[in-house]
Amino acid sequence: MAPISTKRARAQVAPSEAKKARVVDPVAEKVDLISKTIADPSCQVPAPESHREMLLLSIPHILTVPSDERHEFQVQIAQMVGKVLNDHVADWEKQVSDSNANAAVSAEKDAETMKAVETSASTIDAKEGVVEKCKGVVNEDSEAANVAEEAWKFATKEVAEFDDELQQTIVKKDQCSSVFNECFIPLKSGEGDSKDVKGLLKRIEPMLKKLSTEASLLSAVAPALKKAPAERGPFDTMAVEGTEGVFTKHLGELQEQIDKADVFKAEKVSAEAASQEALNAATGKRTTSEGALKTAEEELASLEAKHKELYNDVCSTGEALDAARAVVAIKEGGLAQAKEVLTAFTELLERQSTVPEPAAEEASMVEDKLQACGDVTEVSMVEPVA
């Protein structure tokens, strides 16, 4: 039966220990909080450092005493502690104020850099439009320069080939004149030898083809020229006269080209000079537009590089702003803690002694007696069994 006695004894003791474990002394808790704050190097204590040790040693013996029971020396020490804690709160308030000011500066700088990035982006958009416009102008000027170059080449070629073409014109005129005078005129007048008619026609027909004579006239002239002038009918006469008109017209045109060769050449030289000037102007305009495009592209590249730097600055100022706000949060937390400590100190500083009411004291005494009686009864009941 001894084990039963042990279990019952433990059952009576455990609730009592648990009850004692739940007891928390608010005064001691606040004193500990204040002592930890004073011991923290961040809490400024008037020099020398021995003052901090003196306050730490004095706090448990001062703040645990009600205000109406403190000695004058204890009151003075308590006032010193209060000043330290008030200064500590003021210091945290200053830190919060400074950190808020720093955060405001960081926010302003962040806003400025962000605005600069937005302005830079708008400027880049505008400059991209300028670059596209310059590209269009360069394309137009390049096409105009190519056209001017082709015109100049053509004019230069005409001048260079003019003398050769004039010589060819003289040769053509001599050939045509020879056929006209040596072949056509004798056949027309009927003075040629009848045996030579066939040979003369062989020279006339190719020449007429070169002169783009109508087919109907070309087919009618040969039979007409084979006849003697007196034997020709009206149609034959018309064919002969038409052929003569072809010869005289072509010879007149060739002679005009020969006679006016100097005038024509001067015109071609003048046209060449004009085309050269037009080419120079078109080339210069293209060069100018290409230079404008290059400048615009370089400015765009510079703006893009600057935009990248501004973007990096935005990232940096954003990080700085986040860091500044984090510091503000820390400082505000420290201020809240300092105020909590000051509140605890104020409560202890103003705490007065309390006299327990008789009824409560008597009730406590009765409870203690009942507890004692219960222990005795438990022992007396267990012993016989043991």
As a 3-state breakdown, the chain gives helix, strand, coil percent values, each rounded to 5, of 90, 0, 10
**What is the pLDDT averaged over residues 323-334?**
93
- CA angle, corner 321, sides to 317 and 323, nearest 5? 115
**What is the pLDDT averaged over residues 289-316?**
92
DSSP structure class, residue 356: P
Helix (H, G, I), strand (E, B) or coil at 102: helix
- Predicted local confidence at residue 9, as pLDDT: 44
Q: How many CA atoms lie within 13 A of 212 on its CB side?
A: 2
Taking the alpha carbons of 72, 78, 79, 80 in that order, is the dihedral positive or negative? positive
- Predicted local confidence at residue 30, as pLDDT: 87
Question: Tokens 């004095």 appear where?
Answer: 58
- Please spell the DSSP secondary structure of 342-384, one letter per residue: HHHHHHHHH----PPPHHHHHHHHHHHHHHHHHHHHHHHHHHH
Has residue 263 got a pLDDT over 50? yes
pTM of the model: 0.54
Cα 140 from Cα 273, distance rounded (Å): 23
Question: Tokens 């070309």 appear where?
Answer: 218
How far does CA 122 lie from the centroid of its chain? 9
Phi, psi of 227 (to 5 degrees): -90, 155
**Residues constituting the chain:** 386
Supply 166's token pair: 């004039």
Q: pLDDT for 7-55, tens place per residue?
A: 444 444 445 554 555 567 888 898 998 999 988 888 888 878 888 888 8
Which residues neighbour 176 within 8 Å (Cβ) at sequence distance 6 or greater? 207, 211, 247, 250, 251, 254
The full set of domain ranges for the chain reads 129-281
